[in-house]
Copies of this chain bind each other. A is one copy, B any other.
Amino acid sequence: MDDYLEQILHLIKDKGYARAVDISKNLGISQASVTNMLQRLDAEGLVKHEKYRGTVLTDEGQRIALAIIERHETLTRFLRLFGIDEETIYHDVEGMEHHVSRPTLNVIRAVADALEADPELLERVRKEGRLSADPG
């Protein structure tokens, strides 16, 4: 469900609307499954269908989608500090983001903030952990 809301918000931001065919393509899921899930999200009050516009998020749906994207971006920002390759980061984040509670997300954000604000500290952590500074 998270992945759908995330994708719908991305599509709305990019194109102004979210069509089942684009959600299906981006998630690699059949259009029938997408239609099914959209009905479920509609029943839960998270999306609605608007004539001529397609699927849009309700306020509640938008709130949840923004939280999902925030988790994704915070986890990505943290891991990018250490030169992990983008593919591994994306894969780990897509899995981890569904299991990160608000307190854990706050911890990761605080650590990322501290490391970004202090390049010497970051360099020290990288060195002591034998982590590369650059991808590869």
Contact = CB atoms under 8 A, between A and B. Distances in A.
State the number of copies, please: 2
Interface string A119-131: 0010011101111
A91 B99 CA distance: 8
A28 interface: no
A110 B125 contact: yes
A79 interface: yes
A82 interface: yes
Interface stretch (A1-9, A10-18, A43-51, A100-108): A100-108
B107 A114 contact: no
A108 B45 CA distance: 38
A78 B101 CA distance: 14
For chain A, what secondary structure do more than half of its interface residues adopt (helix, strand, loop), or is it mixed?
A: helix
Given A111-B111, A128-B113, A128-B114, A103 B121 contact: no
Interface size class of A (residues with CB under 8 A): 20 to 34
Nearest to A107: B82
Given A79-B107, A99-B99, A114-B125, 10 more contacts: A82-B103, A84-B101, A88-B103, A92-B100, A106-B129, A107-B129, A111-B111, A111-B125, A111-B129, A113-B129
